[in-house]
Structure 1
């Protein structure tokens, strides 16, 4: 083949390799050919978009729900023949390097994200057209980070105020002639990637059954396509307490560590959002498990993942063992 190599590279603007609104996105396209070639059109595109798609079964018919939104789209023409099709532009043999540069719009846009039924992507594409039958393409995505400090609270200051506050919840359940009271406390509602918080569960078991508390980190992805909505959830177990016998009480303390790679909470996309909860359940034999859910907001971390240091609880007891 005449075209030996066709690649697309971009220049990093920071150590993390991320881009944000207002940044300059520059780079180069590298083309290596074994001999001189004729070119109809050679261009680079920059695009930011969100797209959701899923299917539902309606009797014998499969219904597809989809939607998309474009945040920006730019084209930079490197070569184009003057007569639009005669291949009058010539690319010489060997290694050819073509620079390009775009300015990302300085507007509120969500961070890059890939979920169960949708994604927010920012990409660069290069296309070299020699003829209608001979088109070469290459693509690369670049990580995008929103400038919004709180991409989950554009319309509510209450959430922001409550990020550092302790959270409490109580649930009372009845089993036969007895009752079980569960009190749950978490250190705060918001924390950054790589940080940790303590969660305390007080169980007062006045029933004739034994109960076992379990603690989960719950992820909730919501996708919207016009008037339709689909939700995908994922529960991650991070702690199980010892069984609390009948007519007894017990306090369980666990530390929830947020992985540095876990995506922050966001609401600033009209087609998808990402939320988290702390869920505590009581595993009771032969009975529907009661549960308590506390909101959890995961914030963008300031440090690179390998520099993250876990924040340990000050006011909770040290974990047993």
Structure 2
């Protein structure tokens, strides 16, 4: 019997919102459908609803190569769609005719402090429904479909609507002489932002030195991956958006009072409630110093879900 007898296998979900995301306690309603090109016998059809995180990275090469990995499971819910006995596995007397077969399902996500879906450089957090079709004397045929899960941290949480500030100052040296200091300060109206949102930046730059400086603003994402014991980790930083200002001439200053920076619409949410993966964000305002180390002022950010009316999140940190 050919393994190609299963055709057009699909798993569809009823959307709960325009972003097609799910959260703790949500009921997932959908259907599993597939087309058979010939008649078959099956023992059972079942599915698992799973949530888990996995990481893996390597360092070195050849004989010195060392690999680190870890896994964290959040839930595993098993449901039976078709079975011939109370144990969920029959003797294979159920016959499925050639043609299209549809199985509706309804399953509720458990309550818990689970991290949002994420696909990173050395690991991911995934939520998926995995269907298994068991047939006599054959390996089970498996199909998998991922769905987008978002954590319960919302942008209107009280801790995320407070103004944020940061500043930094540095003295410069020119040959054997001390040059004037440079300073940078930044203010944001709040700490929490949603993907696609415009961020208003207020910044002040003062250049009392004899050098020409270049001010820049970057939205930084830091991914950190851990082993289960957290004895080993791997960090990766990416810059998702950049604004470069006009050159700051010697002995001058500049003020940004309404500079806008958009959070990319596909930005993953902050993850702070996973043992093996952290995803953190910050706004880095700095000036580039020729032949010197840049001066930076960093403001931590949280990228979170859209608000649901006036409801606030039940949890912020693990």
Whether TM-score is above 0.5 comes out as yes
Secondary structure at the aligned position of 1:108 is classed as coil
CA distance in structure 2 between the partners assigned to 1:161 and 1:135 by the alignment: 48
> CA offset at residue 134 of structure 1?
5.3
Answer whether contact 1:264 1:300 (CA < 8 A) is retained: yes
> CA offset at residue 117 of structure 1?
1.5
> CA offset at residue 231 of structure 1?
0.9
Answer whether contact 1:163 1:297 (CA < 8 A) is retained: no
- Cα deviation digits, residues 162-200 of structure 1 (max 9, x gap): 742241413122222212321312233414223333333
Aligned counterpart in structure 2 of residue 290 of structure 1, from 284, 289, 295: 295
- Cα deviation digits, residues 236-295 of structure 1 (max 9, x gap): 452222222223333345322223332232311122122111112222222222222122
Q: Does 1:61 align with 2:64?
A: yes
Q: Tell me the residue number matched to 1:249.
A: 253
Aligned counterpart in structure 2 of residue 46 of structure 1, from 45, 49, 66: 49
CA distance in structure 2 between the partners assigned to 1:18 and 1:237 by the alignment: 25
- Cα deviation digits, residues 179-231 of structure 1 (max 9, x gap): 23213122334142233333333333232222121111111111111221111
> CA offset at residue 73 of structure 1?
0.8
Q: Tell me the residue number matched to 1:142.
A: 147
Q: Tell me the residue number matched to 2:182.
A: 181
CA distance in structure 2 between the partners assigned to 1:302 and 1:51 by the alignment: 29
Q: Does 1:167 align with 2:153?
A: no
Q: Does 1:32 align with 2:27?
A: no
Answer whether contact 1:117 1:223 (CA < 8 A) is retained: yes
> CA offset at residue 86 of structure 1?
5.0
Question: How many positions carry a matched residue from both structures?
Answer: 296
Provide the TM-score with structure 1 as the length reference: 0.81
Provide the TM-score with structure 2 as the length reference: 0.82
CA distance in structure 1 between the partners assigned to 2:148 and 2:302 by the alignment: 22
Answer whether contact 2:155 2:306 (CA < 8 A) is retained: no
Task: List runs of 5+ in structure 2 lacking aligned partners.
Answer: 309-318
Matches within 5 A, 1:60-209: 60-80=63-83, 87-133=92-138, 135-149=140-154, 160-161=158-159, 163-176=161-174, 177-193=178-194, 194-209=196-211
Answer whether contact 1:180 1:203 (CA < 8 A) is retained: no
> CA offset at residue 24 of structure 1?
1.9
CA distance in structure 2 between the partners assigned to 1:271 and 1:34 by the alignment: 44
